[in-house]
Structure 1
């Protein structure tokens, strides 16, 4: 029996607002199984899982993968009732904080981002993201690494939106040179970055390490602006790292971000720098 958490799904986070939906899907799974005249152990054997895992999903304590529901729909002859929840479970399997961030990114019309420790998540390849999560201390479990990596990759849907939002990235030079995951992972990461940086709605700049005047010494900056005129932003070194939305606080972050962009290499110079780094790998 395959009891691997990688294949079955993930536990529901206590108190998560998605919990009622997962419970409803679990109840439907149980109804379909019983309607097919199968015991939990028998169904689990057909699906490749143990009885305990099946019961956990039916109780709504485990988020089934979309692929699991797809196969279960066929096995139980559910006529598409289980498949109807595949997209809901795809979203549910990501951590709450990631779902909330993705929801804001879906609404944003302009996003301003500055990173100084690693390449921004929206620019990361799966291999780079996985390697980055594997550097966490205390070490994350393989299940958590997979879940976080998948969640981060799901946010790349922002590049497929129409109309496309305006995206501005500024990266510290060191983030493009540190070989997270090894030289080949970094090479593929930089090649991907060059592709994204040439999109018409994307502006990418590099902050040189040698820059003496540096407005970004207080840490990362995120600013998202929405179509209704509202915005939200945060920075490690401002407002105790808390998200802010008042006009006055956002002005401070935008002023700092504007200075960072002015001090960074131009977009053309930045692409040339990335190509130079690639040439040394």
Structure 2
């Protein structure tokens, strides 16, 4: 049997999943009692419906500021505020319990003050919707069992809490146009993923760019890669090939990738043009 080299959900590894599941169930109960659907409640607390769904199912960590706002909106009388210390403790444990092969990068990513990514085959995990992530793992070969798929989806969603921290990291993402046109999971999943990219691309700390397929020249036709700067540390790079990860800390190798990324950004559409293109794609669906 092929060894599963991917990380388990951090909360499942250290037993903190019960805390998040319980909070999620209480949140759903009070939301429904208030007569709010996930979209309506999300609008009141400043979160999207996908994130509300993930929190209610216990696969996304509820941030302390979210719990304070939810307590106020749902008139929970301090119920959610009271569990903030337990949530903060669980978050600390979760950040340190990744498998050995992935732990180094996971720690650096969680500490990132600057993160830049170039994607060639699929949408970066940090930007994926839950349904897109599930489609990616479901379609992989050899096939994964349902439990493993759900663990991987939960782990991917848990990493996205980097966008909820304050101050947020400075981020830029360059995505090949072909990635946006590929209907992974079907038209509905594709549409929701494009909408997700618009939401993230409009954040003040994010610049999202599209590399048009029609470009005659291209500085990088070999692989996707990520560049990040952890707080107080030097820039590193990360890439995967056929499931094998590589964390690069050699200064010269990182310098070459950073220079290549600069050329990629220069040749891509600018952020405004890129968001306009995504909006056009949505309108044409």
TM-score range, shorter chain: 0.5 to 0.7
Please state if 1:66 is matched with 2:70.
no
> What's the counterpart of residue 91 of structure 1?
94
Give the superposition deviation at 1:255: 0.7
Pairing of 1:1-281 with structure 2 (within 5 A)? 65-66=17-18, 87=90, 91=94, 96=99, 100-235=104-239, 242-281=246-285
Q: Which has the higher contact order (CA 8 A, sep 6+)?
A: 2
Give the superposition deviation at 1:278: 0.7
What are the Cα deviations for residues 234-276 of structure 1, in whole angstroms up to 9, with x where unaligned? 3468xx9732112211110101101100110111110011011
Whole-Å Cα distance in 1 between the matches of residues 262 and 185 of structure 2? Answer: 32
Bigger CA radius of gyration:
1
Give the superposition deviation at 1:200: 0.5
- Moved runs in structure 1, 4+ residues, more than 4 A? 67-71, 83-86, 92-95, 97-100
Aligned residues: 213
What are the Cα deviations for residues 166-198 of structure 1, in whole angstroms up to 9, with x where unaligned? 011000001111111110111111111101100
What are the Cα deviations for residues 105-150 of structure 1, in whole angstroms up to 9, with x where unaligned? 2211111100000011111110110011111100111001100000
Whole-Å Cα distance in 1 between the matches of residues 112 and 268 of structure 2? Answer: 24
Q: Which moved more, 1:165-174 or 1:222-231?
A: 222-231
Q: TM-score under structure 1 normalisation? A: 0.67
Q: 1:67 to 1:266 in 2, by over 3 A?
A: same
Give the superposition deviation at 1:229: 3.7
Give the aligned CA root-mean-square deviation in angstroms: 3.3
Q: TM-score under structure 2 normalisation? A: 0.66
Whole-Å Cα distance in 2 between the matches of residues 194 and 219 of structure 1? Answer: 24
Q: 1:123 to 1:67 in 2, by over 3 A?
A: same
Partner of 1:139: helix, strand, or coil?
A: coil
